[in-house]
Amino acid sequence: MNDVVLWRRLMAELLGSAFLAAIVIGSGIAAQRLSPGNIGLELLENAAATATGLFAIILMFGPLSGAHFNPVVSFVDAAFGGLSWRDAGLYLPAQVVGCVGGAVIANVMFSTAAMSLSVHHRASPGHFLSEVVATLGLLLVILALARTGRSGTAPAAVGAYIGAAYFFTSSTSFANPAIAVGRMFSNGFAGIAPSSVPVFVAAEVVGGLLAVAVIKMLYPGVTSAEAADIIVPHLREVDTAGNSGPSHGHAGQSATDRGIGP
């Protein structure tokens, strides 16, 4: 389990989710203004900003909370014993509130209405399948890296996967119920109509359930210690003796040794 105190983890999830929504929605608005009428270029700009921004915010907040920013990731982590069910339940509102707040901030930064419900309808069978595939793939990346001791590469891998999934899925790969809720509050390039959100959330839950089954088939024996280090290895709180280190790892390695400390 993560040894960082709960309120710090929740704050990390809230702030990280806010940054994520601001990156996705803000870059979408910017792309529309920079490349009006060129949908392909707008999508490329939005995808590039999201992929690189996600990489950065995982590095920022990952050592504290794991940088889930996604309820499906949190609950799948709980299913493998890396996070308690209680904490996963507490992560969820922090992630949703963060994504809604980030949407508002993005809107205000670009001098649009703080909240404007999107009219971008996306609910089709193709979108549903896309979100199942996008969410399944995201979780396979995360859990496979944790299971094989390569969590340190997860920030880059997750960013790369989401950037690619913008193009290979018709839904542009939300893969995250919290961001789906947040994106409905911006009537811009990255928005989604409120009526489409339940379809996306349902597909993402299905993708999460499939991921649990597939991971158990491909990587049997995932331990709670491995699951606890998704998306990246976590820090420990400094104890009364002044000692600190990662919550899980090899004996004798400090946080700095593993690339997650100053």
**For residue 187, what pLDDT is reported?**
94
Residue 39, domain member (yes or no): yes
Q: Tell which phi-psi region holds residue 107, choosing left (phi > 0), alpha (psi between -120 and 50) or beta.
A: alpha
Q: 238 lies in a domain?
A: no
Percent of the chain with pLDDT over 90: 85
Q: Which helix (H) or strand (E) holds 158?
A: helix 154-168
Q: Is residue 254 part of a domain?
A: no
Q: Is residue 235 part of a domain?
A: no
Q: Across the chain, what does the average pLDDT equal?
A: 90
pTM: 0.88
Of the listed ranges 63-67, 195-199, 240-244, 251-255, the one predicted with least confidence: 251-255
Above 60 in pLDDT, residue 113?
yes
**Which tens digit of pLDDT belongs to each residue from 22-43?**
999 999 999 999 999 999 999 9
Tell me the mean pLDDT in the region 7-13. 97
Q: Is the pLDDT assigned to residue 253 strictly greater than 60?
A: no
CATH of the domain at 186: 1.20.1080.10
The answer as to whether 174 is a domain residue is: yes
What per-residue confidence (pLDDT) applies to 4?
Answer: 87
Give the 3-state secondary structure of 182-209: HHCCCCCCCCCCHHHHHHHHHHHHHHHH
Query: What range does the domain containing 89 cover?
Result: 6-228
Bridge partners, residue 246, by sequence? 235
181 domain residue, yes or no: yes
**Is residue 116, in this structure, part of any structural domain at all?**
yes
pLDDT value of residue 249 = 41
- The pLDDT value given to residue 232: 86
What is the number of alpha carbons within 13 Å of residue 144 lying toward its C-beta? 12
The tally of domains found in the chain comes to 1
- Whether 145 maps to a domain, the answer reads yes
